[in-house]
Amino acid sequence: IDEDYVPSTTDTNNQTTNNQTTNNQTTIISNEEAQKIAMDRVGNNGYLVKCELDSDDNRQVYEIEIKNGTIEYNIDVDAVSGEIVKYEEDQD
């Protein structure tokens, strides 16, 4: 250990940037949060059929299926941002 070493501002900034990048890549929303986002999108009507975490086009997404009578909703929610990236509505 070099006792005379004083970290420069550049060293400190690089370390902070690296930590933030690492944190952003690993932090995902919970299964329950993704379900709430999807249910809010369909007006809280229906029941949850499926909710699973999957990798889609190098992006982690929750694939969610909701059923309301004869209508089936397929919704993909980005696992990092919580953004709805796919929304499909099918009538039986």
Tell me the domains of the chain and their CATH numbers: 28-91 (3.10.450.40)
Say which range, 7-16, 23-32, 44-53, has the weakest mean pLDDT: 7-16
pLDDT tens digit string along 38-52?
A: 999 999 889 999 999
- Residue 17 has what pLDDT? 40
Q: Describe the chain by its helix, strand, coil percentages, rounded to 5.
A: 30, 40, 30
Which of 19, 24, 41 shows the shortest CA–CA distance to 85? 41
Residue 18: how many CA atoms within 13 Å on its side-chain side? Answer: 6
* 92 or 67, which is more confident: 67
Angle at 55 between CA 47 and CA 80, to 5 degrees: 75
Which of 74, 55, 72 shows the shortest CA–CA distance to 64? 74
Q: What is the dihedral of CA 7, 12, 18, 24, to 10 degrees?
A: 150
Average pLDDT value over all residues in the chain: 81
